Amino acid sequence: MELEQLIEVRRNLHQIPELGFQEEKTQNFLLNYIKQLPQEALTVETWKTGIFVKVEGKIGKKTIGYRADIDGLPLNEETGFDFRSVHEGRMHACGHDFHMTIALGALTRLASEPADHNVVFLFQPAEEGPGGAEPMLQADFLTQYKPDTIFALHIAPELPVGSVSTKPGLLFANTSELFIDFKGTGGHAAFPHMAKDMVVAGSTFVTHLQQIVARRVDPLDSAVITIGKMEAGTVQNIIAQEARLEGTIRTLTPESMDQVKAEIEKLARGFEISNDCHISIQYGSNYYQVYNDTEAVQGFRHTVNSSSYDFQDANMAMTGEDFGYMLKEIPGFMFWLGVDSKAGLHQSKLNPKEEALLVGVNLVESHIRNV
Ligand SMILES: CC(=O)N[C@@H](CCC[C@H](N)C(=O)O)C(=O)O
């Protein structure tokens, strides 16, 4: 599959981003594509809105897993491309259109010319939330064809095309979604002393959360608490009775995640007293850290060094990835693929360079053949 075809597939996928476990059109597109490949070596099975494809190897002693995530984000695209999202308020702003296209490109080559080993492609739903990797690991297909090793990639806007980057050990953080609801007493804007104002409580709480990171977490460790969404009130002259914060916590160890959560709960109890309100905290999906196997990374470094592409040592990042659950069960690694975009991940103008699609396909295919 050459660059022109990869671009066509990517642009088709780019137009139809869907949220986690709603990826019906995406699944159909992928299935239709897979259907027109030579079928002799393929076993295809759907799992919820995802898909497994096994390619029987020529020798077939080992099984290599390759995972691509398939969901989009709830974001309005602002690229102005003629192939922009046709789904209002949805965008492939985390590169999953690239991830799927690269997997299809490698699958296309392997379906025509299988590798020595078996390969299982996992088209996984719901990476952005609520998390598809952990339940997908329980699928019967994987019990039957459990990979001995597994890998995946993520696009990296800050790296040039032709570069990839990874490291042994911890690559991505532990994550937990965070939802905090405040309930006070509404009232007339002119009589604040008679109400319990949840705009004030909620917004002060946001700034106090940052003190947990600054003053409770060991400075030699690290954590992030980001509130990405805040909702409160009804109109400008009514004191808000309710407020809601939605965010995410990132830590470098599962233990510091427990500590940060305990600190948030402690802060909330204090706020309930000082603001005379009720606060309830919910954690949505939690992702286990992405921890790369040293030997697997060495093998990949060898693949890259034997190609015309450039390998760079990565730093840890506070991004999260439910692929961490797969790596907890199966040794392997994740790597960053350079796509050189001014706008970063989760931004409405993300514009990865499409030449990187071919770099991805070449490296995924050659690594599978080298393992
Ligand atoms: C690679 C990437 O950007 N992943 C997401 C994963 C989000 C997990 C969950 N919804 C959360 O926000 O905690 C990320 O934001 O890092």
Q: Among the three residues 286, 318, 346, which one is the final residue of a domain in this structure? A: 286
Per-residue pLDDT averaged across 10-24, rounded?
98
Q: Specify the ligand 1 atom closest to the Cα of 249.
A: 13
Co-location of 25 and 166 in the same domain = yes
With a pLDDT cut of 90, the percent of the chain lying above it is 99
Question: For the domain that residue 359 is a member of, what is the CATH number?
Answer: 3.40.630.10
Q: Find out whether 96 is annotated in a ligand binding site.
A: yes
Pocket of ligand 1 (CB under 6 A): 94, 128-129, 154, 175, 177, 248, 285, 287, 319-321, 345
Co-location of 98 and 154 in the same domain = yes
Co-location of 55 and 110 in the same domain = yes
Question: For the domain that residue 196 is a member of, what is the CATH number?
Answer: 3.30.70.360
pLDDT tens digits along 193-251:
999 999 999 999 999 999 999 999 999 999 999 999 999 999 999 999 999 999 999 99
> What is the structure's pLDDT at 241?
98
Q: Decide which of 1 and 105 is more confident.
A: 105
User: Which band of pLDDT confidence, cut at 50, 70 and 90, is reported for residue 184?
Assistant: very high
> What is the structure's pLDDT at 1?
78
Site to substitute for ligand 1 among 127, 134, 158, 248, most atoms within 8 A of C-beta: 248
Is 128 considered catalytic here? Answer: yes
Per-residue pLDDT averaged across 18-41, rounded?
98
Co-location of 75 and 48 in the same domain = yes
Is 76:65 a contact under the CB 8 Å cutoff? Answer: no
Co-location of 26 and 142 in the same domain = yes
> What is the structure's pLDDT at 252?
96
With a pLDDT cut of 70, the percent of the chain lying above it is 100
Co-location of 222 and 102 in the same domain = no
C-alpha 352 to ligand 1 mean position (Å) = 19
Count of structural domains within the chain: 2
Co-location of 45 and 144 in the same domain = yes
State the Cα–Cα distance between residues 338 and 321, nearest whole angstrom: 18
Q: Find out whether 154 is annotated in a ligand binding site.
A: yes
Per-residue pLDDT averaged across 91-119, rounded?
98
C-alpha 286 to ligand 1 mean position (Å) = 10
The domain in which residue 206 lies consists of 174-286
Co-location of 257 and 109 in the same domain = no
State the Cα–Cα distance between residues 246 and 208, nearest whole angstrom: 15
Q: Among the three residues 286, 312, 337, which one is the final residue of a domain in this structure? A: 286
Co-location of 150 and 178 in the same domain = no
Q: Find out whether 263 is annotated in a ligand binding site.
A: no
> What is the structure's pLDDT at 203?
97
C-alpha 319 to ligand 1 mean position (Å) = 6
Per-residue pLDDT averaged across 151-159, rounded?
98
Give the residue from 166, 172, 171 showing the smallest Cα distance to 301. Answer: 166
Point out the catalytic residue in the list 18, 23, 97, 128: 128
Residues near 31 by beta carbon (within 8 Å), at least 6 away in sequence = 44, 46, 51
Co-location of 197 and 346 in the same domain = no
C-alpha 29 to ligand 1 mean position (Å) = 25
Protein residue with its CA nearest to atom 3 in ligand 1: 319
Co-location of 159 and 231 in the same domain = no
Q: Find out whether 92 is annotated in a ligand binding site.
A: no
Q: pTM (2 decimals)? A: 0.93
Co-location of 302 and 245 in the same domain = no
260 φ/ψ angles, rounded to the nearest 5 degrees: -65, -40
Is 291:328 a contact under the CB 8 Å cutoff? Answer: yes
Point out the catalytic residue in the list 69, 97, 340, 365: 69
User: Which band of pLDDT confidence, cut at 50, 70 and 90, is reported for residue 369?
Assistant: very high
Q: Among the three residues 286, 305, 335, which one is the final residue of a domain in this structure? A: 286
pLDDT tens digits along 318-366:
999 999 999 999 999 999 999 999 999 999 999 999 999 999 999 999 9
State the Cα–Cα distance between residues 371 and 8, nearest whole angstrom: 30
> What is the structure's pLDDT at 67?
98
Is 2 considered catalytic here? Answer: no
> What is the structure's pLDDT at 214?
96
User: Which band of pLDDT confidence, cut at 50, 70 and 90, is reported for residue 11?
Assistant: very high
